[in-house]
């Protein structure tokens, strides 16, 4: 999800969407912490939906160790992971967990998604309540979602060392006051690139407008609009392409 400050907030969209479905934000929800390509996630959940039809738990458990056998075609193993994750069996969960503990290079992200689904299934059964699973391309940390944010300097020149220091200080203080955190910050040309984690219910628009306002007290050097996405970290070329298309759209409207 990518937007400017005048558009709907992606965090608020997720928050409101959950409230729309469940009527409230459930007290217990899980956020996928790992950064996993959103297309892979969609592929996994579609396959998971399909394998639930006509699933035979005993037959699946008899083949559980095949997920470790790299001689078996990858597609067959991916299907078996999804099947194991669909069974209300602790042994199925432990089998997937064992695979991940062996630190495999192949199918690791697929196995992470399977383990998360298996955990949710077991927790729902044990607690006798529906659990909400929230996943984005950038993942999260605890009960907070991760976002990639691009700040844009008003000048086309590179941000100065003073500007960089102000951004670091003001954003770290502002986000901390909103139970949020700056995990990483980088500077290139007239852009500041931040990786942040924020509570599900936080208003990104308001928090970042506040932080940008605080920075601009020291020279009015940042534009008030910004880019934020919870899908992936954008490259400089992607950022420039997005801004170019946005400018063209504004010109066409005028």
Alpha-carbon separation of residue 34 from 68, 100, 116, 118 (angstroms) = 22, 13, 11, 16
Cα–Cα distance for residue pair 98/100, rounded to 1 Å: 5
pTM of the predicted structure, to 2 decimals:
0.79
Distance, first Cα to last Cα, the chain: 25
Phi then psi for residue 140, to 5 deg, are: -165, -165
* Boundaries of domain holding 169: 141-253
Work out the angle at residue 49's Cα, subtended by the Cα atoms of residues 103 and 42, and round it to the nearest 5 degrees. Answer: 60
Q: What does the pLDDT read at residue 55?
A: 86
Whether residues 226 and 158 fall in one domain: yes
Is 13:144 a contact under the CB 8 Å cutoff? no
Q: Which residues of the chain have pLDDT under 70?
A: 1-28, 128-131, 254
Is 160:207 a contact under the CB 8 Å cutoff? no
Q: What does the pLDDT read at residue 143?
A: 83
- Residue where a domain stops, chosen among 134, 159, 177: 134
Q: What does the pLDDT read at residue 235?
A: 94
Q: Which residue has the tokens 């949020």?
A: 180
Cα–Cα distance for residue pair 254/211, rounded to 1 Å: 30
Where do runs of H (alpha helix) occur along 178-231? 204-216
Q: What does the pLDDT read at residue 154?
A: 95
Q: What does the pLDDT read at residue 125?
A: 77
Q: For 23-67, how does the pLDDT look when each residue is reduced to its tens digit (9 = 90+)?
A: 555 556 778 889 999 999 999 999 999 988 888 999 999 999 999
Q: What does the pLDDT read at residue 17?
A: 56
CATH code for the domain in which residue 209 is found: 3.30.70.1290
Q: Which residue has the tokens 């086309």?
A: 156
Whether residues 95 and 153 fall in one domain: no
- Residue where a domain stops, chosen among 83, 101, 134: 134
């Amino acid at each position: 999800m990518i937007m400017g400050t005048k558009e709907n907030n992606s965090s608020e969209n997720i928050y409101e969407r959950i409230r729309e479905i469940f009527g409230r934000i459930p007290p217990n929800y899980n956020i996928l912490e790992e950064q996993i390509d959103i297309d892979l996630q969609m592929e996994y959940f579609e396959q998971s939906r399909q394998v639930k039809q006509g699933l035979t738990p005993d037959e699946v458990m008899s083949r559980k160790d095949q997920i470790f056998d790299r001689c078996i075609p990858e597609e067959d193993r991916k299907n078996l992971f999804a099947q194991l994750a669909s069974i209300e069996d602790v042994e199925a969960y432990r089998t997937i967990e064992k695979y991940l503990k062996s630190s495999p290079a192949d199918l690791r992200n697929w196995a992470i998604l399977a383990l998360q689904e298996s955990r949710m299934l077991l927790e729902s059964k044990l607690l006798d309540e529906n659990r909400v699973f929230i996943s984005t391309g950038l993942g999260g940390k605890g009960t907070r979602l991760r976002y990639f944010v691009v700040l844009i300097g008003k000048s086309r020149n590179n941000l100065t060392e003073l500007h960089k220091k102000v951004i670091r200080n003001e954003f770290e203080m502002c986000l901390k006051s909103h139970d949020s955190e700056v995990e990483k910050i980088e500077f290139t040309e007239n852009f500041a690139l931040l990786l942040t984690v924020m509570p599900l219910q936080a208003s990104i628009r308001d928090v970042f407008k506040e932080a940008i306002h605080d920075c601009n007290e020291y020279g009015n050097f940042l534009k008030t609009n910004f880019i934020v996405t919870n899908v992936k970290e954008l490259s400089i070329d992607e950022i420039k392409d997005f801004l170019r298309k946005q400018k063209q759209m504004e010109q066409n409207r005028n």
